[in-house]
Amino acid sequence: MAKEGIFNQVLQVAVVVKDLDESMKNYWDKWGIGPWKVYTFDPNTVKDMILRGKREDYAMRLALAEIGNVQWELIQPLDDKSIYAEFLKEHGEGLHHVALGVRNYEEAMELAKERGVGVIQGGTWFGFTYTYLDTREDLATIVELYDQPEGWEFPEPENTYP
């Protein structure tokens, strides 16, 4: 066991929702969480989509907001293929995953492989790679890891709310 933990930061908390627009409105109007930046992830915007280790296209709309130093993400699946669609069907809306920072993405992926933790979904969005690890057995949630190139910046959102 490593003396130093592999995770060094909580980056994001993600919630799967049925209706992104309704959810953003609820978060903003009732709780003041926002403003939201909206993006679509699909084969037009994401390269090398992976689902359970195989090349597979899927689609979702998502919205991002900041709460302190942590990003809050709302995700609406746009098809029935993704792990978000599966989650919504099995559990309804709710907390889906947590993105955690690592010092070295490649080392973290190697450690996951050594521990038998598989990649359940991933892709590369405008040069930014996201990877979901099936850590539910060990951590009771899915963990998302990022491989973010130095100097990478978010693209312009498709929309914002409010």
- Residue 3's pLDDT is what? 61
Name the nearest CA neighbour of 62 among 99, 31, 100: 99
Structure tokens of 91? Answer: 């559990």
Integer Cα distance of 62 and 15 in angstroms: 10
- 10-residue averages of pLDDT along the chain (162 residues): 79 98 98 98 97 96 97 98 97 98 96 95 97 97 96 97 98
pLDDT at residue 81, as a whole number: 95
CB-CB contact of 96 with 102 (8 Å):
no
Residue 162, C-beta contacts closer than 8 angstroms, at least 6 positions apart? 28, 34, 35
∠ CA(144), CA(146), CA(149), 5° rounding? 170
Contact between residue 51 and residue 58 where contact means Cβ atoms under 8 Å apart = yes
pLDDT for 5: 84
What domains can you pick out in the chain, each with its CATH number?
7-150 (3.10.180.10)
Q: What is the DSSP letter of 42?
A: S
Four-point Cα dihedral 148, 152, 157, 161, nearest 10? 70
What dihedral angle (degrees, nearest 10) is formed by the CA atoms of 102, 107, 108, 113?
A: 180
Strand blocks (E) in 17-150 = 36-41, 46-51, 54-55, 60-67, 70-77, 94-102, 119-125, 128-133, 142-147
Model pTM? Answer: 0.94
